[in-house]
Amino acid sequence: MTLRTTIADAASVAVFMLFSVPALAADECGSRYVDDPMQAQQVAAALAKLEAETNAKIESLPKLPPASASDSDSIRAQRLKQERTIAMWREIGRKIAYQESRPHILSITANVEDSVLKAYLAKVAHKIQSAFLEQYGKSSFASNGHGTMIVRVSSTGVLLDVEFQSPRPPSLCRPMRSVVGRVAPFDAFPPQVLAKADQLKMALEFSFEPMKDASASVPAESSAGTE
């Protein structure tokens, strides 16, 4: 396989020229989001704080005698009210904890104006491109292709997801996803980016163009799955 790669601009829209990929199923192109480990820690911490606060509230409630068959209707009503109040506190607290722990996700493209975000996008794209050159630099494929790869990472650089928009041919998704997974994790967010987002969704546009002499060296069936 022969692969040539260029970076279109400083924002690093990845322009790939790939010339041989096996025909694979289109369902390889969909999202496979995994939970952000940092978010999971934040949720756990928020829930622990909630539990402590709820327990403190419970302690402040009027003390009722242990449940007994001889309880009056008034005592039963008070106990039921307390149980419902506690359940409500826990439910509202859980919702607040998850809401406050939800990651702030920032989507960026090559047109992003922020110089720090632009530089981070360029660095991610360059790392992916270099891996493609390393893995597919000696093969050939006489076929055109294009699309957009959405790479989602956490603030610590952990790869959370890779998905594709309108990839042609779809058979390119698996090897591209594999390469991105192999080069991850990426760098942690700089402080300027961390102040803006907990996660980044980066759109990398790509195109594949055959070499002029590829048709002379590649069997016709190697273009299966292209459009």
The domain ranges of the chain are 3-35+104-219, 38-101
Cβ within 8 Å of residue 217, ≥6 positions away: 140
Q: Measuring CA to CA, which residue among 126, 127, 116 is closest to residue 190?
A: 116
Tens digit of each residue's pLDDT, the chain (227 residues):
223 333 333 333 333 433 333 333 446 777 777 777 777 777 788 888 888 888 888 888 888 888 888 888 888 898 889 989 989 988 888 888 777 767 788 999 988 999 999 999 999 999 988 887 787 764 544 456 678 899 999 999 999 999 988 777 777 788 888 889 999 999 999 999 988 898 999 999 877 665 554 443 333 333 333 33
CA atoms of 125 and 131, how far apart (whole Å): 10
